[in-house]
Structure 1
Amino acid sequence: MKIVIPGELPDLNTIIAESKKGRGRYQPYNDIKRENTEKVAWIAKSKIKKKLSKIDLEVNWICKDKRKDKDNIQAGTKFILDGLVEAGIIENDGWKQIGDITHKFKVDKHNPRIEVIIKEV
C-alpha cells in the first residue's frame, strides 16, 4: 500500500521554532500537529480501506532541494504515524503496531512529496 503526501511536512527546526512562539503554551505546536496530522489522515483514508494490526514503513522523502538536514526532515514521521492512527488504519503508533521504519531521500525540485509505502507484517 502506498500513500503520497504532496509537498513537505514541517521539519524539526520548524517545529521547535513554532513551539518557542507559544512562550510556554503549546498552541503554535498544536496547530502544526493538528493541520499536518489531519492532512495525512485524509490522504490515508482515501487510499487504505482496511485496519492493519502491525506495519513496516518505507518513507521516501522527495525534497525540493538539499538545504535541510535529513534528520530534521524525518521529524515529519510523527505526523505520518499520528495521521495513520487518526485515519483508523492502525490502532496506535506504539511498538505493537509499528515494526521497522526505513527512510530514503531524493530531490525533485518540481514535485516535492513524501511517498509512504506501508507493509502489513
Structure 2
Amino acid sequence: MNQFNGRTNVQVYRAVKADWTDRVTWQARARRPKRPFERAEVLIEYQFQDNRRRDPDNYSGKFILDGLTKGGIIRDDSFKHISLTVRAKPNPGPAETTITIREVLNDERPEIR
C-alpha cells in the first residue's frame, strides 16, 4: 500500500487494485462454497525472501478481501463478517501469499456489532 500513499496517479492504483482483485476473484470462484460464509476467520500469511522490516498495515489484504467477497467465499469483508489475522515470515524460496479461510458457526463466536 505504501507505493500508493500520497500519489496523484489514481489510475495506476485502480488498475493494480482491479488486477489483484480479479486474480483473487477467479481463484475464489473455483473454490467457493454453495453459499458465501456469513462469518469467517481469514488468515493471510505472507512469505518474504528476506528478513527486512515490514509494517503489517501495508499488508492488510484489501485487494485479497475484495476478491474473496466478489468471488463468493465470504459474504462481506466488514468486521461483522470476518476476523482477520495477518502474519509474515521469511522463506528462502519464492515469495508467496497463503490465504486460509475457516467458516465460523453461530455457536463459536458472538456476533460483533
Q: Does 1:62 align with 2:47?
A: yes
Kept in 1: contact 2:39–2:75 (CA 8 A): no
* Partner residue, 1:31: 15
Separation in 2, partners of 1:112, 1:56: 23
Counting matched residue pairs gives 103
CA displacement at 1:66 relative to structure 2: 2.7
Secondary structure of 1:28 counterpart? helix
Larger Rg: 2
Alignment gaps of 5+ in structure 1:
1-11
Secondary structure of 2:24 counterpart? helix
1:1-80 matched pairs, under 5 angstroms: 12-16=1-5, 20-22=7-9, 26-50=10-34, 51-71=36-56, 73-75=58-60, 77-80=61-64
Paired letter, 2:95: P
Give the share of equivalent positions with the same residue, in percent: 28
Separation in 2, partners of 1:104, 1:28: 27
Secondary structure of 2:3 counterpart? helix
Name whichever structure is richer in helix by fraction.
Answer: 1
> Under a length normalisation based on structure 1, what TM-score does the superposition of the two structures give?
0.73
Higher relative contact order (CA 8 A, sep 6+): 1
Alignment gaps of 5+ in structure 2:
105-113
Secondary structure of 1:102 counterpart? strand
Separation in 2, partners of 1:42, 1:65: 29
Kept in 1: contact 2:32–2:72 (CA 8 A): no
